[in-house]
Amino acid sequence: MSIYAIIFYLLGAVIVAATALAITRRNLMHAIVYLVLSFIGTALLFFLLGAPFLAVLEVVIYAGAIMVLFLFIVMMLEIKPEERTLGPWLRQWAPALALSGICLMIMVGFLFLNAGGPGPLLLVTASPLAFGRFLFQKYWLGVEIASFLLFVALVGALYLGRDNSTTGG
Q: Is 115 exposed, middle or buried (0-12, 13-18, 19+ CB in 10 A)?
A: buried
- pLDDT band (50, 70, 90) for residue 85: low
Q: Across the chain, which distance is largest between two alpha carbons, in Å?
A: 67
pLDDT value at position 81? Answer: 59
The fold of 3-124 is Four Helix Bundle (Hemerythrin (Met), subunit A) (1.20.120)
pLDDT value at position 138? Answer: 85
CB atoms within 10 A of CB 59: 18
Most confident of the ranges 3-7, 33-37, 114-118, 134-138: 33-37
Quick one: average pLDDT of 3-18?
88
Q: Where are the domains of the chain?
A: 3-124, 126-169
With 70 as the cut, is the pLDDT of residue 79 above it? no
With 80 as the cut, is the pLDDT of residue 86 above it? no
- pLDDT band (50, 70, 90) for residue 15: very high
Can you spell out the DSSP letters for 62-114?
IIIIIHHHHHHHHHHHTPPPP----S-HHHHHHHHHHHHHHHHHHHHHHHHHT
* Stronger pLDDT, 57 or 126, i.e. the higher one: 57
Across 7-16, 33-42, 127-136, least confident range = 127-136
pLDDT value at position 5? Answer: 83
With 80 as the cut, is the pLDDT of residue 48 above it? yes
